[in-house]
Amino acid sequence: MSKVLVTGGSGFIGSHCILQLLAAGHEVRTTVRSLQREAAVRAMLEQGDAGSGARLSFVEADLERDAGWPEAVAGCDYVLHVASPFPPTLPKHEDELIVPAREGALRVLRAARDAGVKRVVLTSSFAAVGYGHSQQAAPFDETSWTNADGDDVQPYAKSKTLAERAAWDFIAREGGALELSVVNPVGVFGPVLGPDYSTSILLVQRLMDGAMPGCPQLHFGVVDVRDVADLHLRAMSDPAAKGERFLAVAGDFMSIRDIAVTLKERMGSAARKVPTLRLPNWLVRLAALRDPSVKQILPELGKRKNATSAKAQRVLGWSPRPNRDAVVATAESLVKLGLLKA
């Protein structure tokens, strides 16, 4: 088996990647910004039945600093670079997201190249694929790129686009023997392992808590975090993944109301607070004046997009769970861990 570095092991996707790597028999090293986080990460992994964790080690490294990265990649065959900032509200300046995402990716790639790592799998996003364009009838695929200079492109989408483009440019110009594969997930749902989870999970949590008065007219892709982790492992080990990017999406895009109705139908009394009323766009825009977290969704109100994972399924044999199952798994885990309001 191989030795694999996972950056951002405390994150939602990162922790599930660690679980699947350990289950497959690999030796895993993961980075955290502070080693004080090790106990919390191990507790999350125990929630996911990681076993003793004897083949898991930790190293302190920050995407905004050089220190720690040579030690992190030393002796590793592969790197899954998962870590990247995704705040629930708009930053004061877009560089707060762009700089650590782009420079962090380059920092990891340089260290991996210098250490003789075989391949890096970069976690990018649909945010680097399907934004800054006029609406199109055909589903987005891996040939599509977000127009980072487009009107209403939010800082997160810009950061993911510029970071991924910088990674491909690095490989082409100075990557040496290092290989790169990229995974571009849509909204990542599925079972949470603790209170430290992705921003997308907040949608289900707020619906279940009754914290939303209704459903904004938003559509986005859904995929289960376990399937995203599985795609990372396939992109890591399959020779056909060299130099390729892969969209991770399960089925057609869903509206927030689709998600709400799914929760109502399948979560029983636990979903009694979930609203199914469609909110008019003008009301959402009014709410954004008082709630900064609402402001960043405004450019997508009423837009319909879709994307396809046909390439990942054809090239890597990837087969994701249905998107509605991913939504339900999210809610079930929030209930199980007591992460909903009483």
Residues taking part in catalysis: 160
Q: DSSP secondary structure string, 58-102? A: EEE--TT-STTHHHHHTT-SEEEE------SS--SSTHHHHHHHH
Cα gap 32→18, rounded to integer Å? 13
Cβ–Cβ under 8 Å, residues 329 and 191: yes
Contacts 24+ apart (CB under 8 A), 16-20: 16/48, 16/190, 16/193, 16/225, 16/226, 16/228, 16/229, 17/80, 17/82, 17/229, 17/232, 17/233, 18/45, 18/50, 18/56, 19/45, 19/48, 19/49, 19/50, 19/229, 20/226, 20/229, 20/230, 20/233
Q: Maximum CA pair distance of the chain?
A: 57
Contacts 24+ apart (CB under 8 A), 240-244: 240/315, 240/316, 241/121, 241/181, 241/315, 241/316, 242/119, 242/179, 242/180, 242/181, 243/171, 243/179, 243/180, 243/181, 244/142, 244/181, 244/182, 244/311, 244/315
Cβ–Cβ under 8 Å, residues 5 and 76: yes
Cα gap 47→152, rounded to integer Å? 39
Distance from the Cα of residue 218 to its chain's centroid: 19
| DSSP state letter for 135 | -
290 burial type by CB count under 10 A (0-12 exposed, 13-18 middle, 19+ buried): exposed
